[in-house]
């Protein structure tokens, strides 16, 4: 991972177990894009606030070139492939971190289960 990605990942992992809150940008609670935005901000990289913004952040990448810190955007419960509604940050080793939904907490998830309904975009950040 790049030095910036290591900072972003370290910050995101320190948020494990914190509750999901729609519109949450920390420090007590996060939504999915609030977590990724704040993690990258800690690394000195500004990305948009929402999944609609983050789908355009950085540069496009592929599953084969996915690196720790990259964003994975999926339809989620209220989005689509064309307009993703959920985002997570790739950690490496087939794992990612995300803030799933109301009633849940920031957690690490397997890439395969995260993308089971399709991938809207993979974005290389930093």
- Annotated active-site positions, please? 32, 86, 98
CB neighbour class for 50 (10 Å; exposed up to 12, middle 13-18, buried from 19): middle
Q: Which two tokens stand for residue 104?
A: 């849940």
Q: What is the DSSP code (8-state) at residue 109?
A: E
CB contact set of 82 (below 8 Å; sequence gap of 6+) = 120
């Amino acid at each position: 991972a790049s030095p910036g990605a290591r900072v972003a990942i370290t910050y995101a992992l320190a948020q494990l177990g914190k509750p999901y809150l729609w519109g949450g940008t920390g420090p007590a609670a996060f939504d999915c894009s609030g977590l990724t935005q704040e993690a990258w901000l800690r690394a000195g990289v500004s990305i948009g606030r929402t999944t609609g913004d983050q789908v355009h952040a950085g540069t496009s990448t592929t599953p084969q070139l996915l690196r720790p810190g990259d964003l994975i955007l999926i339809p989620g419960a209220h989005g689509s492939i064309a307009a993703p509604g959920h985002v997570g940050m790739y950690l490496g080793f087939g794992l990612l971190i995300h803030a799933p939904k109301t009633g849940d907490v920031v957690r690490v998830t397997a890439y395969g289960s995260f993308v089971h309904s399709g991938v809207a975009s993979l974005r290389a950040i930093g």
